[in-house]
Amino acid sequence: MRIHSINTSGKILANASVTLGGCFAVRNLRIVDGSKGLFVSMPSYRTDEGLKDVCFPCTKEFRQQFQNTVLAAYRQEMARLHEPQAHERPRQRESSGFEERAAPGPADTPEETPPDGLEEESHSPGGMAMQ
């Protein structure tokens, strides 16, 4: 499932694409903010009688499951977009009890030594030691 073309205004909030069972792809789904809440609009075409869905769930149960899954993916994408990114600074710094200290210098850090048994060297022809 892929949520894309997210809008911040209007009734169409986003578009979605879904692949069912790795066998059937549905494109141009729309997530719509209707008078009764969010719903998923299937791809459609215009006729003299109005809009006709290109494809659609055949049972009420599958329609509900399909809609719930698409709307859950939309909500998850919206939550992800509102999370601060790694390259962004937090908007407001909260007091966390963290004390700022200077990083230890070379004299302050203990020298690391490898665990016993890892210092073995193999000698190659020509007298050069390889680690």
Inform me whether the pLDDT recorded for 79 exceeds 50.
yes
Number of neighbouring beta carbons within 10 Å of residue 17: 14
Average pLDDT over residues 40-60: 96
Number of neighbouring beta carbons within 10 Å of residue 122: 7
**Which of 1-15, 39-53, 115-129 holds the top average pLDDT?**
39-53
Inform me whether the pLDDT recorded for 48 exceeds 80.
yes
Instruction: Categorize the per-residue pLDDT at 106 as very low, low, confident or very high, splitting at 50, 70 and 90.
Output: low
Average pLDDT over residues 53-71: 96
| Best CA proximity match to 131, nearest among 121, 123, 113 | 121
Question: Residue 72: what pLDDT?
Answer: 96
Inform me whether the pLDDT recorded for 91 exceeds 80.
no
Inform me whether the pLDDT recorded for 124 exceeds 50.
no
Instruction: Categorize the per-residue pLDDT at 56 as very low, low, confident or very high, splitting at 50, 70 and 90.
Output: very high
Question: Residue 83: what pLDDT?
Answer: 80
Distance CA 6, CA 50 (A): 26
Question: Residue 82: what pLDDT?
Answer: 83
